Amino acid sequence: MSIVKEGLLYSESHEWVRMDGDVAIIGVSDFAQSEMGDITYVDMPDEGDAVEQGEDFGALESVKASSELYAPVSGTVIACNTELEDAPELINKDPYAAWIIKVQVSDKAQLAALMSAAAYAQKVGA
């Protein structure tokens, strides 16, 4: 059973979003990390890069798989969690604390395309 945290928005591709004003803090769900297994590397964009909703912005590598990360919203990357460079396992330990990037959102209306915690929990059977 994976944990779905209340108060966050979720994408079909298992990223979570926490809004802080106009900034989207983005990570991957507990379901995603448990499916991946031990994460060994996080490929992150650079600050200042533009990301687009539904397009990949990086990738996760685990001992058994490699998976793209898709941007749940469009905008500009204003921060990357550099802690993950040396400690990618933080995503396995606490996926909702180990954010990956922060994005200055360009169009908040895009958030309507994301799922609530309840809808996501239903999707992953949590």
Q: Give the residues lining the site for other proteins (CB under 8 A).
A: 41, 43, 46, 49, 59, 61, 66, 68
Sheet holding 101-105, edge to edge: 9-10, 15-20, 23-28, 101-105, 75-80, 50-51
Shortest separation between residue 106's beta carbon and other proteins, angstroms: 19
Nearer to other proteins by Cβ, of 63 and 109: the residue is 63
Shortest separation between residue 57's beta carbon and other proteins, angstroms: 12
Shortest separation between residue 62's beta carbon and other proteins, angstroms: 9
Contact assessment for residue 37 and residue 56, using Cβ atoms and an 8 Å cutoff: no
Nearest residue to 65 via CA among 29, 40, 99: 40
CA distances from 10 to 24, 47, 65, 77, 108 (A): 12, 23, 22, 19, 14
Nearer to other proteins by Cβ, of 68 and 94: the residue is 68
Shortest separation between residue 19's beta carbon and other proteins, angstroms: 27
Cα separation, 61 vs 37, in Å, equals 9
